[in-house]
Amino acid sequence: MSVATLTCTGVPRPLGRVHPHTCDAHRATCATPTVATHRCRVLAHHAVNARYRYLRLQANAPIALTTHPGQFYQLKCPVTDSDAPFLLRPMSVYGTGPEPDTIEFLYNVTGVGTRALATLPEGATLDIVGPLGNTFTLDTQWQRVMLVARGVGLATMAPLVQRAAAAGLKLTVVMSARSEADLMREEFLRSPEALALADVHCVFDTDGSSAVEALEPRIRALLDATPHDAVYTCGSHRLLMLLQRVLRAHPQITAEVAMEQRMACGMGVCLSCVRLFDRDGDKQFLRVCREGPVFPIRDVVGEVDFG
């Protein structure tokens, strides 16, 4: 496993593995970013639907040039009259650019930090720290990839969709949501190129099509019908476990998951985001923030027995 090093306030920090299948230009770019604190101005902030909000920031540096699909930032949420977040909140990058100093986030209001974040008006300032974490593998010579997303997990993979579409890769997209009102198809695909290249399959809790017993044979059929080079997921433990089972029949497919985990420091110091992984029979506890958040799907240990 190759390890790139980046520096944050003078402390060397591994970025994560440099994927062997990633194109050379992208691998070289990913190997040299620097973590920093950025003072940002809120350019846009509004509700997308009843559950999710969109945030666009202008930073004090060209962070769009050093931020890659799968990475995240730590956001310093404001203190309000009713909420006083103490820790920074980790948030996956939803998009960057087209200006070199702009970055986007898509988030669900679920607790103290995101409730406070939701009060930020346009023109306000917000401090963010990053970029943090490693990136997805993507070989621009591949033909087709599958993305399986649920809920806000789509925000993590949205930049990957754009990179794949820009390379002309065909996309099989499986989108899962509680209801049709929660589905964000346009927000996930975003560009005309992605919309044109994507074969989209939408499943919902409301009609039972998102249930494992209904979705698993559907994904099996999609992979059996058309060759895929890679499968990606984020946002659902049950989808991760489903894909582990399905991919046993497709050992040649590259398979990755962007892990969602509660974090405190986001720098690998506090160990609050440790998960168990199995790398060729070697059981290891790894930090999602530092060794991840992107891991091979097949390495994730679903259930841990401490007995």
89 assigned binding-site residue? yes
* Per-residue pLDDT, 10: 30
77 assigned binding-site residue? no
* Per-residue pLDDT, 81: 86
Reported as a single tens digit per residue, the pLDDT across 44-84 is 999 998 889 999 999 999 999 999 999 999 999 998 988 88
* Per-residue pLDDT, 235: 72
For tokens 């994730």, the residue is 300
Distance from C-alpha of 278 to C-alpha of 2, rounded to nearest angstrom? 18
Distance from C-alpha of 245 to C-alpha of 59, rounded to nearest angstrom? 42
Q: Are residues 215 and 296 in the same domain?
A: no
* Per-residue pLDDT, 33: 54
91 assigned binding-site residue? yes
Q: Are residues 199 and 235 in the same domain?
A: yes
Distance from C-alpha of 145 to C-alpha of 32, rounded to nearest angstrom? 27
Q: Are residues 234 and 157 in the same domain?
A: yes
113 assigned binding-site residue? yes
* Per-residue pLDDT, 219: 98
* Per-residue pLDDT, 21: 38
The answer to whether residue 14 sits within a structural domain is: no
Q: Are residues 148 and 253 in the same domain?
A: yes
Reported as a single tens digit per residue, the pLDDT across 106-150 is 999 989 999 999 999 999 999 999 999 999 999 999 999 999 999
- For the domain that residue 289 is a member of, what is the CATH number? 2.10.240.10
Distance from C-alpha of 263 to C-alpha of 261, rounded to nearest angstrom? 6
Q: What is the dihedral sign for C-alpha 129, 131, 136, 138?
A: positive
Q: Which domain holds residue 291?
A: 259-306
* Per-residue pLDDT, 244: 96
- Please give the helix or strand (H or E) that residue 165 lies within, else none: helix 153-166
* Per-residue pLDDT, 303: 57
Task: Please give the C-alpha separations between residue 239 and each of 67, 264, 298, in angstroms, as whole numbers.
Answer: 26, 25, 13
Q: Are residues 195 and 177 in the same domain?
A: yes
For tokens 């891991």, the residue is 295
265 assigned binding-site residue? yes
* Per-residue pLDDT, 262: 85
In terms of C-beta density within 10 A (0-12 exposed, 13-18 middle, 19 or more buried), how is residue 276 classed? middle
Which residue, of 218, 243, 258, is where some domain finishes?
Answer: 258
Counting as low any pLDDT under 70, the low residues of the chain are 1-33, 303-307
Domains identified in the chain, total number: 3
